[in-house]
Structure 1
Amino acid sequence: MKVKKYMASSMPEAMSMIRKELGNDAVILNSRVVQTGGLFGLFRKKSMEVIAAVDSRPATVEKKRPKEQRSASLPLHPPVQKSNDEIVHEINDLKKMLEQLTIMKHSVNTKLPVRVDQIIKKLQLQEIDQNIIDRIVPALLEFYYLNKASATEEDLINWTKKWMFEKLSPIEPFGGIDFTKKYINVIGPTGVGKTTTLAKIAAKCMIQYQKKVAFITTDTYRISAIDQLKTYANILNVPIEVCYSKEDVQAAIHSLAHCDVVLIDTAGRNFKEQQYVEELKEMFSVDEEICTFLVLSLTTKMQDMKAICEQFSSAPIDAFIFTKLDETSTYGAILNMIFAYEKGVGYMTNGQNVPDDLAEASQEQIVNLMFGEM
């Protein structure tokens, strides 16, 4: 095996040198950023030190024979086909070389290819977590270098969408209520739009799915909240029960037994108050029949979203609802929360209109949002 060390100003330059001297079969053994040049320890610049290797065993060369003899023997010696294992090995070697490019984010002298960089900047503008971007970059570079001659920006965007969709596919649930559970509970901090969202879901259940709907509210801390939900109940002509205790909830569940869907509105409180979360847990005992959505506003800071989710994690959360899409231009938080907690998204809201400004979430919708496509 032939092993050689290369010094270059960037990783792409080093790979070009390696391919030129060692060929496309070369494998990157090691790479690191080093300081070179300078005077008395000053004015030194960063460079890439890359160690590469290639199998130096000579290929078997057929001895020259008369033209007629060679032609006659061709049918007896068809070209040797590579085995699946050899092909997989070559692909893995290519991936190893491409993965080395991820170190470029640690070097000020190394840059992503322009078209790849444009895609990454789009994702950064959406405030997608850097750890997610770090997972995308090596795979996107692999696609780029395998299709360098023809890959357009649109091709790279479509590939990135496909990558996101594949990563989201195993996570569930998505797509609103599936009606396998009768009781739908929405929880979350104050000001995220829980009551309005609940009214939108109720209208959708009635109009689109012809379900018998009812409301339960435990938000007895604010008179205005009760009045708001009562107004929606009157408009939709559905029953509503106001509950002050666990016993009230049990009585309400009994009286609303004839309904297909019971939507439960909870108090909006400071999410840092652990007592509030404990009260939510104690209020309901129909765990096997209750689906709980954590409602989060996209105008909330990412750090606070994670803190809210951690605080409510002791109350089992089935999926997220994201509100106020119309009040922001960055949607990366949706993807960040899905990947961080491996929970799907039931609904997304983009306005105050009931029931119009409510959409059942899908993986495809969320992927499109990452590229500003509503």
Structure 2
Amino acid sequence: MKYVAPTMNEAMKKVRNELGENAVILNSKVMDSGGVFGLFKKRMVEVIAAIDPGIENEKAEMKRLRSQPDASKSVSFKQDEHRKQQLKSENSVQQELKELKKMIASFTSSSQFERYDSSIREILLHLQIQGINESLLLQAGDHLQGYFKSSGQKGTEILLIEAKRFLKDAVSEVNMSGMSYKKKYINVIGPTGVGKTTTLAKMAAEAVIEKRMKIGFITTDTYRIAAIEQLKTYAGLLNVPVEVVYKLEDYKKAIHKFRDFDHVFIDTAGRNFREKKFVDDLHKVIDFERDMETFLVLSLTGKEDDMKEIITQFSAIEINAFIFTKLDETSTYGSMVNILKETKTGIAYITTGQDVPEDITEVDADYISELLLKGFSHERSGV
């Protein structure tokens, strides 16, 4: 089937949405469409994709296995299950290799990448799969091609080292550090389901356990009883007080109660912040002007466009840095880099699980560049 989109990323999304993860790319090309009298043409990407027939063979084999007689059932069942897993594993590996090779071929046929050496195209493909936007991909390609020509270094591993250096430089312009501890009030905001409360507890644990500070909790998340109880559980473990606030007057009373504390950590409700109303509601409960450091929490499992929309909605609030959660639940990290470069906003932490206080870490440019190219050698070898 044929799919046309403005970029390769969007074309691949269409393929996955309609044909699923078992689709393979048969051909792709860049073409011009529209325009008047040869002017104002728009560049588009055309992708031809199909379902791998090998998957259908696997389904047929599974059906045959299920139809076998029940004689020697216990032994046969184990053998069948083993065979099913073996078939699934073999077909999965073959499918991944096939799709990867087809995508590499699609890069070769694309006019915007054909000027690069094949080793560079491999690296660009990996970064494209990571979700790096096209502008940065082309910058990376031009940089690596220039390095390739000037240095005479042709090995992929050498180019990989230079690619890491390029990515490190690309994100080094944004600030990367945790809490500054210069503000008394530490506030985390963000949409529902990103792990704000757990993240706040991890940050608070650092202040209590490592810094030996006197802290308190405020929660404005009165929409979910479970959220209040969760924060109270963390507060109990850290032996710190919690104040639940419903309106700005309650908030003022709470901060007065904590006037002699070193820091106050504020948990906010997770709402659909694509609706401006919920952002406005925050201002009705929290005084953002008072000695505050605010972190916007975003999940790496979310869609980049949704994250950007949330950032736009929060533009009326000064965001000091992002916190990206759920690193352990995804294998693609390009959206984080795209957002950091586009917004020029810093990054405070990345979280890697639910354990408090362990699964949180500060990052630097080296960490992010390593993360983006993680597993590249395994993809090339098919491991």
> Taking structure 2 as the reference length, what is the TM-score of the superposition?
0.67
State whether structure 2 residue 121 is matched by structure 1 residue 117.
yes
- Report 1:161-310 matches (<5 A): 161-172=164-175, 174-287=176-289, 289-310=291-312
- Whether contact under 8 Å (1:334, 1:366) holds in the other structure is no
Question: How far off its partner does 1:288 sit?
Answer: 5.3
Question: How far off its partner does 1:155 sit?
Answer: 2.1
Structure-2 separation of matches of 1:221 and 1:367 = 39
Question: How far off its partner does 1:362 sit?
Answer: 2.0
Structure-2 separation of matches of 1:254 and 1:298 = 36
Structure-1 separation of matches of 2:154 and 2:110 = 26
Q: Which has the larger radius of gyration?
A: 1
Number of residues of Structure 1 aligned to a counterpart in Structure 2: 270
Q: Does the residue aligned with 2:186 lie in a helix, a strand or coil? A: strand
Equivalent residue, structure 1, for 2:103: none
Q: Does the residue aligned with 2:316 lie in a helix, a strand or coil? A: coil
- Whether contact under 8 Å (2:116, 2:141) holds in the other structure is no
CA pair 108-372 structure 1, distance change in 2 beyond 3 A: closer
- Whether contact under 8 Å (2:219, 2:245) holds in the other structure is yes
Structure-2 separation of matches of 1:293 and 1:203 = 16
- Report 1:112-151 matches (<5 A): 112-148=116-152, 150-151=153-154
Structure-2 separation of matches of 1:328 and 1:124 = 15
Once the two structures are superposed, residues 27-85 of structure 1 have per-residue CA deviations (whole angstroms, 9 ceiling, x without a partner) of xxxxxx99xxxxxxxxxxxxxxxxxxxxxxxxxxxxxxxxxxxxxxxxxxxxxxxxxxx
How many percent identity over aligned positions?
45
CA pair 296-105 structure 1, distance change in 2 beyond 3 A: farther
Structure-1 separation of matches of 2:113 and 2:138 = 18
Equivalent residue, structure 2, for 1:357: 359
Structure-1 separation of matches of 2:119 and 2:200 = 43
Question: How far off its partner does 1:273 sit?
Answer: 2.1
Structure-2 separation of matches of 1:254 and 1:184 = 16
Once the two structures are superposed, residues 239-264 of structure 1 have per-residue CA deviations (whole angstroms, 9 ceiling, x without a partner) of 11111111111111111122222111
- Whether contact under 8 Å (2:322, 2:348) holds in the other structure is yes
- Whether contact under 8 Å (1:298, 1:331) holds in the other structure is yes
Structure-2 separation of matches of 1:184 and 1:264 = 6
Equivalent residue, structure 2, for 1:57: none
CA pair 245-108 structure 1, distance change in 2 beyond 3 A: closer
- Whether contact under 8 Å (2:321, 2:348) holds in the other structure is yes
Tell me how large the CA RMSD over aligned residues is.
2.1
- Whether contact under 8 Å (2:246, 2:285) holds in the other structure is no
- Whether contact under 8 Å (2:247, 2:284) holds in the other structure is no
Structure-1 separation of matches of 2:252 and 2:150 = 62
- Report 1:49-88 matches (<5 A): none
> Taking structure 1 as the reference length, what is the TM-score of the superposition?
0.68
Q: Which runs of 5+ in 2 are unaligned?
A: 1-29, 32-107, 376-383
Q: Does the residue aligned with 1:281 lie in a helix, a strand or coil? A: helix
State whether structure 2 residue 163 is matched by structure 1 residue 160.
yes
Once the two structures are superposed, residues 269-319 of structure 1 have per-residue CA deviations (whole angstroms, 9 ceiling, x without a partner) of 112221110122343335251111111111111111111111112222111
Question: How far off its partner does 1:152 sit?
Answer: 2.5
Structure-2 separation of matches of 1:208 and 1:335 = 30
Amino acid aligned to 1:362: D
